Amino acid sequence: MMRQYELVERVRRYNPKADEDLLNRAYVFAMKAHGTQKRASGDPYFSHPLEVAAILTELKLDDATIVAAMLHDTIEDTETTRDDINKAFGDEIGGLVDGLTKLSKLDFVTKHAQQAENFRKLLLAIADDARVLLVKLADRLHNMRTLHFMPEAKRARIAQDTLDIYAPLAGRMGMQSMRSELEDLSFRCLMPDAHKLIVTRLEALKAKNGALIARIEAELRDQFVRRGIKVEVKGRQKAPYSIWKKMERRSIAFEQLSDIYGFRILVDTVSDCYASIGVAHTTWPAVPGRFKDYISTPKQNDYRSIHTTVIGPGSQRVELQIRTHEMHEVAEYGIAAHTIYKDGRPDTPGVSESRAYRGLRQTIEALASDDSEKFLEHTKLELFHDQVFCFTPKGRLIALPRGATAIDFAYAVHTDIGNSAVGCKINGRIAPLISMLQNGDEVQISRSDRSTPPAAWDGVVVTGRARAAIRRATREAAKAQFGGLGRQIVERAFERAGKKFSESKLKAALPRLARASVDDVFVGVGRGEIYSSDVVRAVHPDFKDERKAGPAVPQNETGWFELPKAANLVFRVPGGPEKPEPGAAPAPVRGIDPDTPVRFAPKGGAVPGERIVGIRGKEGITIYPIHSPALADFNDEPDSWLDVRWDLEAADKAVYSTQIVITMLNEPGALGIIATAIGEYGANIDSVSSAASGVDFRDLRIDLQVRDIQHLNAILAELRGKTVVHKVERLSG
């Protein structure tokens, strides 16, 4: 543990006028207050506030802040009161310690009590004096450095809070050095394998390229010195967590990163910065699109520098950051490097105010209003650049990763809400569920009791919780959809084989089918992944299936076989519509010259009620439905596209061609059930083709004549309800 004189000496190194008596009194006061308290590591508790004070000496903070750091846990964890602090050290230090006490109660804000009012308290705690924030960040940094002494159950929560709140807050205040260490410590705890892998790769890269980096550094220094510019060149290695984030965000491999190593060019004046960029760009080729001037336009957190990338020595891409020594100090230590914390309070005449702290104070001005909603609307919680904070209509705060969608939001509220989500409103306006959320958005989820999440959502969401819930719901939906069908197929297979079906015997045969449960077998059979004959054979190894998987008649080159013309099934309802002449337009289509020949696409043709597109060709105009994949062939011919629409008034007795594909059970009578269902709906079957789909299923391709889109949808719905139908969909030609 650091001795009393050691702490005083640390402060005197950067502040010879430090109040040594004040520091000594604070040291003794805190040590007596904490007494025999112990940390999880077994060390005296007082070692923690002492280390927090030591971290702040590295930032060269004033005496009052160092004293507040030593006292910051006394009100919270000992019998000491605010009055005791005021009497011993004055109101200024008492206010700092009291502010830290309030802030320490908000560590749970990210994941447990996500309420807007909690953020009001967090900001109010640092609004009056930003030194409260600096002590709190140093406090969290030391806690993270000693996290391995904490119980395992608490480590992940503390690390996640650090990554969610404290590291972004340090970055928002421009304290990049502290942010980088907080992120690295959190990353090491939350993803130890990934952290170890990246560190190992960095060490290997450094060993491989060490000589080259030294040569580049020397050549850079030489070029600037020869031009009369006094520079200090420092190599920079990208932090492991930054590397991980970039790999995740861009879906690239470690080897594809080009900015792992960079160089900082430190000069004396701003004019030297611009002279240096001239030297760099006239000596080596610049990489287009890689120049950024943060001196003329500083970042929100006061960061100032010029960034560029050149093809430098050895034909290597070299990233350069050019800044003054003062800019570098601000880049590393943020608001802690600003004179506001060394020369006086922000309201002291002659003391400038940092851009980052000014933004914070402007945020606090909105808090003067009693209207919390206005505060939330105006601030947008822009302190946290790496997260998105959104709200439910009742004001509950939901923290999500940047890039999260309304689907992620729904699952963050509750798994059941995510599973039943069918739509959303963002800030009162209807929006797609895949909409990317922004800070401060209010999201209202619309639900349906009969809804299940589409499997495609798995590729849209960004949170692990949402992805796991979607996959779980997809498995359950598959079990519900295919399990019953699979059981039906299996039971009929046993019946055909002359065997008695027994679920207990099937359970004993699961290892032969490589399935974990009987339900998994039924789902596999229902989805066509397992043949029913294989299930029978697993239970009765002596079983031989006499059926063939192939078609009963020769296939054509497409893998389908067509029924003989005499076998074509045509159902007509008395007084129903008549089939149109081939190639003719059975009903007028608006938007086309009446004298122009019009035909409909032969496969998956358009039907009234759906959007259509006309394509002009040599033989006239062909009508396609808007969803037809064939339209992709005309993307390079914009002049051929015509905006057309149906003239439904003239379509009273016309029918239109379309195609559907049905996957049906391969059993006697199935085709008759399907044909009857279509006939009962007054539709015409013009032709039928069939193809094998394993032993248990066959695919039917049916050319159908329907009146309009409503007629077609009704037929599809009826077919989906038949027990012999596994799947039915419209074919898009």
- What residues are annotated to the active site? 76-77
Sign of the dihedral defined by the CA atoms of residues 599, 600, 606, 608, in that order: positive
Q: Is the dihedral of CA 247, 251, 255, 258 positive or negative?
A: negative
Cβ atoms of 441 and 400 within 8 Å: the answer is no
- Please classify residue 668 by burial: count the beta carbons closer than 10 Å to its beta carbon, then call 0-12 exposed, 13-18 middle and 19+ buried: exposed
CA distance 420 to 507: 33
Distance CA 327, CA 609 (A): 65
44 sits in the region (left: phi over 0; alpha: psi -120 to 50; else beta) called beta
Nearest C-alpha neighbor of 730 from the set 702, 689, 711: 702
**Under 8 Å between Cβ of 500 and 494:** yes
The b/e string for 597-606 (b: 16+ C-beta within 10 A; e otherwise) is: ebbbbeebbb
**How far apart (Å, rounded) are the C-alpha atoms in residues 229 and 274?**
11
Give kind and range of the element (H or E) at residue 212.
helix 192-226
The residues, any chain, with a CB within 8 Å of residue 61's CB and separated by 6 or more, are: 131, 134, 336, 341, 342
Burial label for 66, CB within 10 Å (0-12, 13-18, 19+), is buried
| Residue (of 68, 65, 72, 86) closest to 15 by Cα position | 65
- Residue 523, Cβ neighbours under 10 Å: how many? 24
Contacts of 190 (CB under 8 A, 6+ apart): 156, 159, 160, 163
Cα–Cα distance, 695 to 531 (Å, whole number): 6
Helix (H, G, I), strand (E, B), or coil: what is residue 341? helix
Q: What is the number of other CB atoms lying within 10 angstroms of the CB of residue 452?
A: 16
C-alpha 466/C-alpha 451 separation (Å) is 16
> Position of tokens 């209207």?
371
